[in-house]
């Protein structure tokens, strides 16, 4: 009996070693001035930001990461307020993914980025090239990545 218990404990993965990452693109942005590199959310985007809040409210998010742009920060603001969290700023071009994964071990994390960064972020987390760039008019993709030691699962769903 003791031997069976020892074997079971040796092969079981502690729950706190498992991480869940939710990754989304920012909500809809103002598209009036094509030269504006940092537009705010439009009315539809503000509604989507509230819908994201409602979606994530029961997900036990422990950390939020956002790029430092109006549209991403406005997307996470309702979630921050509802959960009492403050977004951690990151730069997609300088992130160390191995360090990111290890520093978020056991966490439930929301990452907000852009159509050309979130699929790459997911691909880095899963160590595979599965997801391609998001169409510029698509703001409904939700990528879910679960990492439990060497077990990796991922999926893409649409949330409208």
Supply the CATH classification number for the domain 14-158: 3.40.50.1240
| Whole-number pLDDT of residue 8 | 42
List residues bridging with 110 in a β-sheet: 22, 64
Structural domain boundaries of the chain? 14-158
Angle at 154 between CA 138 and CA 14, to 5 degrees: 140
**Tens of pLDDT, residue by residue, the chain (160 residues):** 443 334 444 444 445 689 999 999 999 999 999 999 999 999 999 999 999 999 999 999 999 999 999 999 999 999 999 999 999 999 999 999 999 999 999 999 999 999 999 999 999 999 999 999 999 999 999 999 999 988 999 999 999 8
| Whole-number pLDDT of residue 16 | 65
pTM above 0.75, yes or no: yes
114 conformational bin, left if phi > 0, alpha if psi -120 to 50, beta if neither: beta
Cα(103)–Cα(15) distance, integer angstroms: 16
Cα(72)–Cα(35) distance, integer angstroms: 18
**Can you read off the two tokens belonging to residue 135?**
């169409």
């Amino acid at each position: 009996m003791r031997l069976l218990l020892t074997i079971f404990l040796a092969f079981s993965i502690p729950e706190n070693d498992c991480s869940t990452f939710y990754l989304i693109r920012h909500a809809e942005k103002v598209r009036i001035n094509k030269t504006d590199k940092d537009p705010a959310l439009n009315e539809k985007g503000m509604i989507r930001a509230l819908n994201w809040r409602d979606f994530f409210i029961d997900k036990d998010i422990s950390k939020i990461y956002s790029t430092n742009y109006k549209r991403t920060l406005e997307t996470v603001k309702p979630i921050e307020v509802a959960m009492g969290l403050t977004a951690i700023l990151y730069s997609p071009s300088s992130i160390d993914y191995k360090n990111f994964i290890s520093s978020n071990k056991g966490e439930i994390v929301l990452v907000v980025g852009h159509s050309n960064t979130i699929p790459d972020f997911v691909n880095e987390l899963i160590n595979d090239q599965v997801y391609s760039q998001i169409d510029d008019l698509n703001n409904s993709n939700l990528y879910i990545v679960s990492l439990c030691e060497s077990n990796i699962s991922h999926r893409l769903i649409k949330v409208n």
